[in-house]
Amino acid sequence: MSNPSDSTPIAGFSSSGDQVIVPLTPTQLAIRRFRKHRMANIGLFILGFILVYISFGSLLSRGYCAPLQTDLTGEAYANCNDTKLKLQPPSKDHIFGTDVIGRDIFARTIYGGQISVLIGISAAIFEVVLGMLIGAIAAYYGGWIDNLLMRFTEAMLNIPSLFLLIIGARFFGGGLPTINFFGRELTGSVIIIIVIIGLTSWMYLARIVRANILSLRERDYVSASRALGASDARIIFSHLLPNTIAPLVVSATLGVASAIISEAYVSFLGLGVQGSTATWGNMLDGAYQYLEKAPWLWFFPGTLILLIVLGINFVGDGLRDALDPYSTRHV
């Protein structure tokens, strides 16, 4: 990616000489830097495409379901299986082919995409909330609380996350009732996967938040509100956390990407979302047994995962440059 901080004009000053200087707010500046970030724009385009695909694509999910002898639309069509049509290569009727029990892969990538994105975003939110809480509590209270929480954070960081995911998936695995989410039936395992991914990925965030707050804590305005008798919670939530927002936004964005990949890993190892609910990850489950016979089984969901993760990474990189031009970059 091009490094926009090198080329952006110095904040707030127009380069064209004697015109009235209108100082830009930090937010406007950030937006401007973001829009100049080429990779970020490509990323936005990819994400836009995928959003259109998984939302409006559902209008194209329709067809005749032979075993039920009716025409179906939407998710019902995506779940319609016709074992007579199993493992069909891509064709006019099934442009991405069919899977091992004759479900339409195109329709399943659409509805699976919705779940994968839902998992990605929810897990990232969960991760951010958890990381923020732990980081903020550790930094604000300091002392033994800080010590305990940070030792715990370090310990979690030192366990490779894939192992944590595998173990976590077993820890919470098993039967949970089906729940209704915006009119869609979701198996309980969707929630489980969200929780597991969140629980195994909050550590970096907690550290960032803690470090930021530690440096902010001694600033005058915090001391002032403390002197005015503001409660701990109020200081944490209205002063400290908002000022750590930039790194949080970046981490949360990248968190969505890693959550989607994590979901795919867990599913790949057979521990992912269960039942008839499709996700890009569980569409890949077992598909590699058909590496040779039916490459369309793994190619389409795999490529979609690659695209969305790529898009999010581009955007995340743009956000990082935009929100915090002086941050040292870690890839």
Contacts of another protein in 48-87 (CB under 8 A): 67-68, 79-81, 83-84, 86
CB 243 within 8 A of CB 135: no
CA distance 331 to 324: 15
**CA atoms within 13 A of residue 275's CA, in its CB half-sphere:** 16
φ/ψ bin of 49: left (φ > 0), alpha (ψ from -120 to 50), beta (otherwise)? alpha
CA distance 183 to 167: 32
Min dist CB 218 to another protein, Å, is 25
CA distance 93 to 90: 8
Nearer to another protein, 239 or 300 (CB): 300
Find the part of the chain contacting another protein (CB under 8 A) among 49-57, 169-177, 211-219, 229-237.
169-177
136 closest CA partner among 196, 205, 198: 205
Q: Is residue 127 close enough to count as binding another protein by CB under 8 A? A: no
Is the CA virtual torsion 301, 304, 309, 312 positive or negative? negative
Q: Which amino acid is at 285?
A: D
**Residue 108 main-chain phi, psi, to 5 deg:** -70, -30
Min dist CB 196 to another protein, Å, is 11
Nearer to another protein, 103 or 239 (CB): 103
Find the part of the chain contacting another protein (CB under 8 A) among 12-20, 113-121, 233-241, 294-302.
294-302
Nearer to another protein, 107 or 164 (CB): 164
Q: Is residue 204 close enough to count as binding another protein by CB under 8 A? A: no
**Residue 14 main-chain phi, psi, to 5 deg:** -80, 145
Q: Using CB under 8 A, which of 187, 201, 212, 244 touches another protein? A: 187
Min dist CB 141 to another protein, Å, is 19
Site for another protein in 249-268 (CB under 8 A): 257, 261, 264-265, 268
Nearer to another protein, 71 or 232 (CB): 71
Find the part of the chain contacting another protein (CB under 8 A) among 120-128, 137-145, 173-181, 212-220.
173-181
Nearer to another protein, 236 or 260 (CB): 260
* Residue position matching structure tokens 């969305």: 308
Q: Is residue 152 close enough to count as binding another protein by CB under 8 A? A: yes
Q: Is residue 13 close enough to count as binding another protein by CB under 8 A? A: no
Q: Is residue 325 close enough to count as binding another protein by CB under 8 A? A: no
Q: Using CB under 8 A, which of 24, 44, 95, 100 touches another protein? A: 100
* Residue position matching structure tokens 């970096």: 204
Nearer to another protein, 243 or 286 (CB): 286
CA distance 103 to 93: 12
For the window 131-150, what string marks contact with another protein as x by the rule CB under 8 A? --------------------
The count of residues interacting with another protein (CB under 8 A) is 72
222 closest CA partner among 209, 240, 208, 210: 240
CA distances from 171 to 85, 154, 271 (A): 37, 21, 11
